[in-house]
């Protein structure tokens, strides 16, 4: 039994569908709702548009705020990792540049020795009474603590 235009049910619900196909019913309902919005909330005579403030563009700072977490992560990495590493490297380079004969050092390979000669890119290390080895300057890891001190 199809609903005919002009029947009581058709006037009660306010509209009649052209059939019972759900897709057609949904499309007609959307058209009806859109037409009702246009008729009741037109731009010129709408109370709602007069009461509500005009919609503005998104804040100009919104783009910058999207990148704020990335910037914070970069700053954290800089202050917790990169900067301390650069300071250690700078201190090591200063220590290597200040080495002279008689200084006790430890190499990256774990060899303990005393500087007995300084060349342009290498050091001569005395590791025993009659044993001297030549190591690259960048192979020096640190200075040995002075005898009698702990650390």
pLDDT at 57 over 60: no
Tokens of 64: 């910058």
Q: Taking all residues of the chain, what is their mean pLDDT, rounded to a whole number?
A: 77
SS3 assignment, position 118 = strand
Percent of the chain residues topping a pLDDT of 90: 49
CA dihedral 96, 97, 103, 109 (to 10 degrees): 20
pTM of model > 0.95? no
pLDDT at 29 over 60: yes
Domain 100-143 is found in CATH 2.30.30: yes
The per-residue pLDDT for 8 is 46
Please work out, in degrees rounded to the nearest 5, the angle formed at the alpha carbon of residue 99 by the alpha carbons of 79 and 138: 60
């Amino acid at each position: 039994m199809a609903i005919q235009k002009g029947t009581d049910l058709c006037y009660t619900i306010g509209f009649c569908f052209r059939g019972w196909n759900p897709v057609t019913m949904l499309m007609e309902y959307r058209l009806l709702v859109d037409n009702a919005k246009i008729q009741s909330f037109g731009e010129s005579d709408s109370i709602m548009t007069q009461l509500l403030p005009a919609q503005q563009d998104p804040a100009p700072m919104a783009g910058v705020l999207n990148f704020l977490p990335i910037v914070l992560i970069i700053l954290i990495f800089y202050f917790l990792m990169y900067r301390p590493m650069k300071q250690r490297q700078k201190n090591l380079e200063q220590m290597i540049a200040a080495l002279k004969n008689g200084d006790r050092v430890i190499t990256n390979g774990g060899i303990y020795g005393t500087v007995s000669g300084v060349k342009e890119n290498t050091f001569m290390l005395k590791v025993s009474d009659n044993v001297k080895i030549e190591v690259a300057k960048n192979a020096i890891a640190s200075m040995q603590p002075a005898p009698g001190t702990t650390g």
